[in-house]
């Protein structure tokens, strides 16, 4: 679903706006995770923003991929045995995993190594450690993604209140979120599912008609 979503969505944000947004969200999560504001000082903020802008410029990854990467970063930081590789590397590996999950064609570890000047072995090691902590659970369905971009939307609204003249990236990112929210909501409503009835027949359905059980489905004439 996410791959289809990004094909239908023309982004408003470029690599600079995405880099600024990632910095805003990831730094906030990182501070909460480490419990120490001194880990991320203003100078480090600028360094991280520069890193994000550069890597997103080199890869030209979509807002969908970037938002998914932030979701993986959030999931990882909730893991009991999560290891702190530093904010740059944590986001880098989250982005690498998101690229592989969202996109039909994705960058190889060798390409990520060339883009970051990190050894491929180091990138692969961190990738495996993060995936192990996530139990290799990187699946994100439509409802998960919708809930996540709603959270990102709330983050933007909170950030806007901090400025008399909000940074321009907040508007472009919000435009992308609104476009994606509209598309994903439409896809969820029309998404085809499969259910197994007591008879053992598997019907394809989309939510619409109420069955005696109280569950609402709309049946198509096709069978699996």
Which 3 state secondary structure label does DSSP give 81?
coil
Give the Å distances, CA to CA, from 34 to 84, 93, 152, 157, 163: 9, 18, 20, 24, 26
Q: What is the pLDDT of residues 149-193, one digit of tens each?
A: 999 999 999 999 998 899 999 999 999 999 998 888 777 666 644
Q: What residue ranges do the domains of the chain occupy?
A: 2-186, 192-223
Which 3 state secondary structure label does DSSP give 171?
helix
CA–CA distance, 119 with 124 (Å, rounded to integer): 9
Q: What is the pLDDT of residues 2-16, one digit of tens each?
A: 655 555 556 788 999
Of 131, 219, 155, whose CA–CA distance to 24 is shortest? 155
**Fold entry, domain 2-186:** Cyclin A; domain 1 (1.10.472)
| Secondary structure (DSSP) of 24-45 | HHHHHHHHHHHT-GGGS-HHHH
pTM for the whole structure: 0.80
Give the Å distances, CA to CA, from 201 to 97, 197, 219: 37, 6, 12
CA–CA distance, 207 with 161 (Å, rounded to integer): 38
Q: pLDDT band for position 209 (50/70/90)?
A: very low
Percent of the chain predicted with pLDDT > 70: 75
Of 186, 178, 183, 189, whose CA–CA distance to 149 is shortest? 178
């Amino acid at each position: 679903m996410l791959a289809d979503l990004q094909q239908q969505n023309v982004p408003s944000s470029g690599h600079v706006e995405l880099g600024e947004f990632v910095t805003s969200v990831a730094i906030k999560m990182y501070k909460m995770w480490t419990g120490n504001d001194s880990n991320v000082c203003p100078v480090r903020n600028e360094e991280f923003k520069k890193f994000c802008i550069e890597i997103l410029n080199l890869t030209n990854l979509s807002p969908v991929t970037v938002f998914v990467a932030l979701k993986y970063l959030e999931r990882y930081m909730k893991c009991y045995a999560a290891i702190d590789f530093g904010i740059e590397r944590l986001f880098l590996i989250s982005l690498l995993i998101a690229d592989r999950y969202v996109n039909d064609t994705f960058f190889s570890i060798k390409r990520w190594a060339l883009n970051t000047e990190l050894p491929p072995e180091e990138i692969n090691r961190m990738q495996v450690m993060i995936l192990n902590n996530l139990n290799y659970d990187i699946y994100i369905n439509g409802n998960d993604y919708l809930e996540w971009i709603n959270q990102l939307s709330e983050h933007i609204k909170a950030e806007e209140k901090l400025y008399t003249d909000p940074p321009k990236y907040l508007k472009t990112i919000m435009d992308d979120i609104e476009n994606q929210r509209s598309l994903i909501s439409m896809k969820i409503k029309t998404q085809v599912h499969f259910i197994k009835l007591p008879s053992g027949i598997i019907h394809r359905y989309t939510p619409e008609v109420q069955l005696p059980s109280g569950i609402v489905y709309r049946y198509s004439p096709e069978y699996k």
